[in-house]
Amino acid sequence: MNGLLLINKPKGITSHDVVNYIRKITKVKKVGHTGTLDPNASGLLIICIGEATKLIPYIENGNKIYEAVIDFGKSTDTDDILGNVISEKSVDNLTEEDLIKELEKFKGEIDQVPPIYSAKKIKGKKLYEYARKNVDIEIKPSKVTINNIEIINKDEFPNSITLLINCSKGTYIRAIARDLGKALNNEAYLRELKRLNSNNFDLKDSINLNDIIDINDIITHLLPLEEIVKSLKVVSVNPTSEKFLINGNKLFSPDVNTNLNEIEIGENVALTLNGKLKAIGIKQLGDNSSIYIQPKKMLNT
């Protein structure tokens, strides 16, 4: 079994719990996901099964869209509702004008310090391993991009707000909550988080985890490998050059039915044979300015 499964993960379980559940039903060992959702978070979790696990790097780098509920007046050691409260402050100083002004500063490329209770690795260990042992460790900021951040519900302001956030891979929404509180000279933490979209795969197309009872439920909702790399240009390999493709040899213009001049040097492409995805390749420039596609990720399909 090979393909992609869009799961609506409920609160209260880990992303790995979902992987184990799908692995148990399918009896397939190669099962993975494209981006962790914390136990307290819900929403879209993309599960890759079989050969699809080889394509995870081409999915996980895409943008994500989240709906986040942020509470003001308190901060926690985990930057979310599951942590211990470490500071409290009155919300009387908060104004909608200041909120809108500070939110604008989060847009674009920013430096973000990951939460100490996170899976970010430093010196070979995850940050939460240092935190649990009370070991001080320097956490350097990472570059992340916030494509858009907007208020979608302010009925409970100044106690809380709901934000819609479009961001790059590696963005911690908990850190946005924490930093927004400090920017407003207050405290804040993430109360709720729901992932709505990941790399153009949408939550509305997912299946609730509780609705997956047996293998037939998975087969019904399984997306083909071709869906995973739909953002890549397709290069169709001539059947006469099948052996070159299977052996991972360079593919020149006569080997394909696609105009290689329409592809940029260094661009990843989906290599198909008779309409079926067989590999991921990359366009390269060879000797005498010759151009070719080098297969780099072979699929057993």
Convert the pLDDT of each residue in 30-54 to its tens digit. Answer: 999 998 898 999 999 999 999 999 9
Measured CA distances, 256 to 163, 171, 251 (Å): 47, 39, 7
The reply to whether 56 and 144 lie within a common domain is no
- pLDDT number for residue 45: 97
- pLDDT number for residue 42: 97
- Helices (H) then strands (E): counts for the chain: 7, 18
Domain end (from 135, 170, 195)? 195
In percent, the amount of the chain with pLDDT more than 90 equals: 82
Among 17, 38, 205, 287, the active-site one is 38
Residue 38 annotated among the catalytic residues of the structure: yes
Residues 180-218 pLDDT 10s: 999 999 999 999 999 999 999 999 999 999 999 999 999
Domain end (from 174, 195, 216)? 195
The sign of the torsion formed by the CA atoms of 239, 245, 249, 252 equals positive
Q: Which helix (H) or strand (E) holds 17?
A: helix 15-26
Give the integer Cα–Cα distance in Å for 41 and 85.
Answer: 19
- pLDDT number for residue 272: 94
Give the integer Cα–Cα distance in Å for 158 and 138.
Answer: 33
**Per-residue H/E/C for 248-276:** CCCECHHHECCCHHHCCCCCEEEEEECCE
Give the integer Cα–Cα distance in Å for 115 and 33.
Answer: 22
The reply to whether 87 and 107 lie within a common domain is yes
Using alpha carbons only, how large is the chain's radius of gyration in Å?
Answer: 23
The reply to whether 14 and 128 lie within a common domain is no
Contacts of 37 (CB under 8 A, 6+ apart): 9, 15, 43, 45, 193, 195
The reply to whether 35 and 77 lie within a common domain is no
The reply to whether 94 and 144 lie within a common domain is yes
Number of domains within the chain: 3
Write out residues in the chain with pLDDT < 70, as ranges.
none
**104 is in which domain, residue-wise?**
64-195
The reply to whether 90 and 186 lie within a common domain is yes
The reply to whether 204 and 57 lie within a common domain is yes
Give the integer Cα–Cα distance in Å for 197 and 45.
Answer: 9
What CATH number corresponds to the domain at position 214? 3.30.2350.10
The reply to whether 97 and 174 lie within a common domain is yes
Closest CA to 297 of 232, 239, 200, 207: 232
The reply to whether 94 and 178 lie within a common domain is yes
The reply to whether 191 and 115 lie within a common domain is yes
